[in-house]
């Protein structure tokens, strides 16, 4: 499972507020920070959780994100 997060307004310039893709931490783990697939470390309280895709995506996150395992491609569509 993944989270879509963006740094809160005022922490960076608006152009740099891209939407990062973050793996959901293990249920029993409490990390010091979230780490996006691109390597960006996101400190507690510095990001907003997005309910779905919105805004400019972080391209390195998209490139490094593992492919969905539950999606079946139609015959000849892969």
- β partners of residue 57: 19
**Domain ranges, ordered by start, for the chain:** 2-64
In tens, the pLDDT along 24-70 reads 888 887 889 999 999 999 998 899 999 988 889 999 999 999 887 76
Supply the DSSP symbol for 15.
G
Q: What DSSP element (H or E) covers 64?
A: helix 59-64
What's the rounded Cα separation, in Å, for the pair 24 and 54? 18
**What pLDDT, on a 0 to 100 scale, did the predictor assign at position 23?**
93
Q: How far is C-alpha 19 from the geometric centre of its chain's CA atoms?
A: 6
Question: Which residue's entry shows tokens 């907003």?
Answer: 48
Q: Band the pLDDT of 22: cuts 50, 70, 90.
A: very high
**What pLDDT, on a 0 to 100 scale, did the predictor assign at position 76?**
61
């Amino acid at each position: 499972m993944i989270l879509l997060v963006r740094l809160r307004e005022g922490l960076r310039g608006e152009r740099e507020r891209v939407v990062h893709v973050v793996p959901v931490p293990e249920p029993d783990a409490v990390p010091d920070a979230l780490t996006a697939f691109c390597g960006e470390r996101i400190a507690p309280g510095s990001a907003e959780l997005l309910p779905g895709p919105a805004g400019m995506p972080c391209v390195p996150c998209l490139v490094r994100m593992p492919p969905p395992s539950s999606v079946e491609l139609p015959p000849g569509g892969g």
